[in-house]
Amino acid sequence: MQIFPCPFCGPRDEREFHFAGEAGKTRPDTTGEVSPDDWATYLHMHRNEKGRTREVWVHTPCAEMFIMERNSVTMEVLGTECLRAKS
Ligand SMILES: [Zn+2]
């Protein structure tokens, strides 16, 4: 078991979290026509980087999404970043 840091709740069991995708992907602009190739690229093509990665995660109990930076080889968590504006 690994402990992941939720930026809102603090350290928690990894089983409380869900991977939501790679950070930095841009959703196609749906105000115009989006080609099937563009949708397929957005949905299915991943960088799958080895080493330092930035990913979007969700902490299920608080339902907050945030960026977690971690090393995909060692699984070390390097930091987190809130996605919503601070109030
Ligand atoms: Zn949380």
Mean pLDDT computed over 41-69: 95
**Distance from the CA of 15 to the center of ligand 1, in angstroms?**
12
- Convert 30-60 to b/e letters by CB count within 10 Å (16 or more is b): eeeeeeeeeeeeeeeeeeeeeeebbbbbebe
pLDDT at 42 over 70: yes
> Model-level pTM?
0.83
**Distance from the CA of 50 to the center of ligand 1, in angstroms?**
26
Report pLDDT for 84.
79
Report pLDDT for 87.
59
Total count of domains within the chain: 1
Mean pLDDT computed over 50-71: 96
Mean pLDDT computed over 47-73: 95
pLDDT at 86 over 70: no
- Residue 67 covered by a domain: yes
**Distance from the CA of 63 to the center of ligand 1, in angstroms?**
7
- Residue 33 covered by a domain: no
**Distance from the CA of 67 to the center of ligand 1, in angstroms?**
12
Angular region, 10: left φ>0, alpha ψ -120 to 50, beta rest: left
Could you list the residue range(s) of the whole structural domain that residue 79 is in?
1-24+50-87
Report pLDDT for 61.
97
